[in-house]
Amino acid sequence: MNVLIIGGNGQIGTRLCKKLKDSEHVPVAMVRKEEQISKFQKKGIATVLADLERDFSHAFKGMDAIVFTAGSGGDTPKSQTKVIDRDGAIKAIDEAENAGVSRFIMVSALKANRSNDLWSDAMQHYYEAKAAADDHLRKSDLDYTILMPGRLTNEDGTDKVELKKKIEEIEGRTVPRDDVASVITEIIDTPSTFGMSLDLLQGDKTIEEAIKALDTK
């Protein structure tokens, strides 16, 4: 599969490109700046230059799947979170439908589909943006999976996760970005995950075991 990674230059996106390249899939990193292209060229990874704030429909040509892992970042204004995490994601969903690319994985956030009583004041705008984009995806005709990882770390991946429709015990728990990328790589062509919204944290099951366990839920 040709997989467009929107947010390919981000921390999860960079890891995902490498993992997909080592699999049977072909990653294409969507980047916003020309100077970011060489980073991927050195690794033999294709890129497409496009900006979520402009017309980026050309990036979907020839793609079989889309992964949206772009984010405005913690140091950007609240308005930019709406532009990227909400509006950019919604545009990407619509573009996928227009281009006939049915498989779509959204990297969202743990708690985005839960009561807003759990959202801190400082993070409310972020969760609102994520929730709006996720809701738009659920209403689409795409073969989607919404992945909702908890607090992300840069620790080495363990390939041991907890992956469920709802994880009850979430406070104080984290998940390495490397494991998020590994989960995406495994589920990209797994029909049993279509139409699912899944919490993701570090756990005690292998990724393969955790995915298989979804079939029994």
| Cβ atoms within 10 Å, residue 44 | 7
Q: Which of 126, 145, 150, 163 is catalytic?
A: 126
Which residues on neighbouring strands pair with residue 199, listed in sequence order?
Answer: 148, 164
Supply 146's token pair: 């919404």
User: Which residue from 86, 117, 90 is spatially nearest to 104, judged by alpha carbons?
Assistant: 90
The CA angle 41-156-24, to the nearest 5 degrees, is: 45
Query: Contact 175/200 with Cβ under 8 angstroms?
Result: yes
User: Which residue from 53, 96, 46 is spatially nearest to 72, judged by alpha carbons?
Assistant: 53
Helix (H, G, I), strand (E, B) or coil at 112: coil
Is 126 catalytic? The answer is: yes
Query: Contact 6/14 with Cβ under 8 angstroms?
Result: no
Q: How far apart are CA 211 and CA 192, in angstroms?
A: 8
Residues designated as active site: 126
